[in-house]
Amino acid sequence: MELIKGGICAAKGFQASGVHCGIRKNKTKKDLALIVSQTRAAAAATYTTNLVKGAPIAVTKANISDGYAQAVICNSGNANTCNANGTEIAQGMCALVEQYTGISAKDVVVASTGVIGQQMTLDPIADGMQSLVDGLGENSKDAAHAIMTTDTQLKEVAVSFEIGGKVCSMGGIAKGSGMIHPNMATMLCFLTTDTAITPEMLQKALSATIVDTFNMISIDGDTSTNDMVVILANGMAENPCISEAGEDFDVFCKALKELCTIISKKIAADGEGATKLLVCSVSHAETDAIARTVSKSVICSSLLKAAMFGADANWGRVLCAIGYSGAPVDIHKIDVQFHSDAGSVLVCKDGMGTDFSEPLAKEVLMRDEISIDIDLKSGDACASAFGCDLTYDYVKINGDYRT
């Protein structure tokens, strides 16, 4: 497997476009994105578990219930959530795609991100459709820009791998940084691949992958409103179609997991106000569930996040977060290590503090990518959670915003 260029256009038969249509006031900010496949594609998706869902989710769910889609239309600047005509707008966007591309409205994935509870009309979108469609090409970056809201970094990645002797590609764009003002559509990720795979196996792969990737991200504990992750697979790589478990499916899942892990880290690193990417890796847990619960608990801890901002090797807070995580662990077996490209330092062994070098620890923690490694010494399961430090800027972005 290797990283390649092209983002969501890396896979055969996918084109993308991104324009400014007028939803956002700032003319330099793109706000409408389109992704199309040359042929109908197997489609799978996962959605937020937040009871509050934007109208686009129900419409998308209905459209891909048959397992197929051919386009994705997404706007930023308005989340199309908590407004009265939401479903009408979402369906209207699908209809506009059909009108301008010939692709059936029922084969369109629709998404929105931005402010909630704000009136929305189709007018700017309708106005922008012609240039949106005219702009279709190898334009993954334009689409990636068009879906961004508070992100400071574009999130795009692609990989290539081999299945059945055929080269397959998979790429993705994503957005998600936190929430500002009433904005609930925090995380969107669109994935494309030319692998031939049935809708059922595609959904299986996606559902399994998000467990250890997107669902392991926490920026501020409020990001479980991850809106949508969608993957389209159009089969144009012409590999033997993956229709059951086996080696080919494993290769596919591995590529998908790699891609989603990279994207998850980009999202975590771009958390509002973040200065550091934090990865908490738990090893030798008794079960996968324990490993995930423990790593997420640590990543979500405000005290741990603040300590990382201050480059403070505060192992006690790690132990504390493990202790209240709800997972049954033997606290007398826990080892904790901090590491980064500046080195590593063991700060806790068997649940007790070690005599570690504070200067070394400070150096390790002054880097912008830090790993908090926890060894539970109780089994073979492991998991990683992704997050970021808690900074003054987080408070400023989210507290000082005056309506």
**Residues within the interface to a second copy (CB under 8 A):** 49-52, 82-84, 116-117, 178-179, 181-184, 220-222, 224-225, 300-303, 306-317, 319-324, 328-329, 331, 351-353, 358, 361-362, 389-392, 394-396, 398-403
Residues 6+ apart with CB under 8 A from 20: 27, 28, 29, 30, 31, 32, 128
Kindly state the smallest distance separating residue 325's Cβ from a second copy, in Å.
Answer: 8
Residue with smaller CB distance to a second copy, 5 or 396: 396
Backbone phi, then psi, for 314, in 5-degree steps? -85, 80
Segment (H or E) for 344:
strand 343-349
Q: Which residues of 233-244 are buried (b: 16+ CB within 10 A; e: fewer)?
A: bbbbbebebbee
> Would you say 339 and 371 are in contact if contact means Cβ atoms under 8 Å apart?
yes
> Would you say 152 and 246 are in contact if contact means Cβ atoms under 8 Å apart?
no
Q: Please give the structure tokens belonging to residue 292.
A: 């995930």
Q: Is 197 helix (H, G, I), strand (E, B) or coil?
A: strand
Using CA of residue 254, residue 259, residue 263, residue 266, what is the dihedral sign? positive
Q: Which of 60, 150, 186, 195 is catalytic?
A: 186
Using CA of residue 293, residue 295, residue 299, residue 303, what is the dihedral sign? positive
Instruction: Give bridge partners of residue 19 from the DSSP assignment.
Output: 32
Residue with smaller CB distance to a second copy, 79 or 133: 79
Distances (CA, A) of 171 to 135, 290, 300: 19, 31, 29
Q: Give the Cα separation of 355 and 346 in Å (integer).
A: 9
Q: What is the DSSP string of 7-21?
A: GGGSSTTEEEEEE--
Q: What is the DSSP string of 119-131?
A: ---SHHHHHHHHH
Kindly state the smallest distance separating residue 400's Cβ from a second copy, in Å.
Answer: 5
Short-list 261, 242, 262, 260, CA closest to 252:
242
Residue with smaller CB distance to a second copy, 108 or 347: 347
Q: Give the Cα separation of 337 and 370 in Å (integer).
A: 10
Kindly state the smallest distance separating residue 29's Cβ from a second copy, in Å.
Answer: 21
Kindly state the smallest distance separating residue 147's Cβ from a second copy, in Å.
Answer: 19
Residue with smaller CB distance to a second copy, 13 or 323: 323
Instruction: Give bridge partners of residue 137 from the DSSP assignment.
Output: 16
Residue with smaller CB distance to a second copy, 137 or 328: 328
Q: Please give the structure tokens belonging to residue 389.
A: 């430090």
Residue with smaller CB distance to a second copy, 289 or 324: 324
> Would you say 10 and 167 are in contact if contact means Cβ atoms under 8 Å apart?
no
Kindly state the smallest distance separating residue 225's Cβ from a second copy, in Å.
Answer: 6
Kindly state the smallest distance separating residue 151's Cβ from a second copy, in Å.
Answer: 17
186 among known catalytic residues: yes
AA letter at 148: M
Kindly state the smallest distance separating residue 378's Cβ from a second copy, in Å.
Answer: 13
Q: Which residues are catalytically annotated?
A: 186
